[in-house]
Amino acid sequence: MSGNFDYTERRLGVQGARTLLVPGHFDFANQALLYVPQHLPDPRSPNFTREAADEIARILRASRGRAFVLFTSYQQMRAVYDQVSFAIDYPALMQGAGPRSALLEEFRATPNCVLFATASFWQGVDVPGDQLSCVIIDKLPFAVPNDPVVEARIRAIRDEGGNPFYEYQIPQAALALKQGFGRLIRSRTDRGVLVLLDNRISKQRYGQVFFDSLPDYGFTTSLADVETFFDV
């Protein structure tokens, strides 16, 4: 993370490994824009889902659909889909309505389509070209702390005198966020906007870890910049 392999080495139990960090060959600064709206409430607020849905609808109008909207929970996905799908004039698909492969094929074949999905679409999905021009992520993808595996890892780090939030939960979430954003730029000619609706990334001290883990995208907090990007 942040230009080193410390987190991976700790997870693998490797010491003194030789590492090589190879720069990417995409021009992220010009090909992609990262948008983090500052006016949305904290994702833990009861108002977040409604206000996030309104923001997603505005973004999708600017992008003319052509988007993945990725969620950290099925409940949030369904709630936002129910609101946004009626507020936009573009075809909308939701994970669970069919097999994963069929949904991807329909997305690729349907102009201006929007796919609402969760974790299984955060990695291993390749949609190059204009058909996917926007990836929207609802929240920083922290693992559920009461998951048995996560709970055990947190307990083990704490027992060794470590800080599980900074040593495990933040690096794990940063990797997941990077995988989600990795859906967008798949070739040297792709262009698109990455949206993170969780503005804790710019308001909390730990947010810098997430920024450092991502490529050098253009950055904005203004929807007007997003609209300009798509008008070019």
Give the Å distances, CA to CA, from 122 to 69, 126, 137, 175, 185. 10, 10, 10, 11, 13
Q: Is residue 24 in a domain?
A: yes
Q: Is residue 150 in a domain?
A: yes
Q: Is residue 29 in a domain?
A: yes
**Residue 35 near residue 225 (C-beta atoms within 8 A):** yes
CATH number at residue 129: 3.40.50.300
**Residue 220 near residue 29 (C-beta atoms within 8 A):** no
Q: Is residue 68 in a domain?
A: yes
Q: Is residue 22 in a domain?
A: yes
Domain that holds residue 16: 6-231
Categorize the per-residue pLDDT at 24 as very low, low, confident or very high, splitting at 50, 70 and 90. low
Q: Which amino acid is at 44?
A: R
Q: Is residue 18 in a domain?
A: yes
Measured between alpha carbons, how far is 158 from 183 in angstroms, rounded to an integer? Answer: 34
pLDDT digits (tens, 9 = 90+) for 156-200: 889 988 888 888 888 888 888 887 777 777 778 889 999 999 999
pLDDT digits (tens, 9 = 90+) for 145-157: 788 888 898 898 8
Q: What angle do CA 66, 70, 74 make, to 5 degrees?
A: 130
Retrieve residue 230's tokens: 């798509």
Q: Is residue 192 in a domain?
A: yes
Measured between alpha carbons, how far is 173 from 170 in angstroms, rounded to an integer? Answer: 5
The total number of structural domains that make up the chain: 1
Q: Which amino acid is at 1?
A: M
**Residue 140 near residue 146 (C-beta atoms within 8 A):** no
Q: What is the pTM of this model?
A: 0.85
Categorize the per-residue pLDDT at 119 as very low, low, confident or very high, splitting at 50, 70 and 90. confident
Q: Is residue 1 in a domain?
A: no
Q: For residue 11, what pLDDT is reported?
A: 62
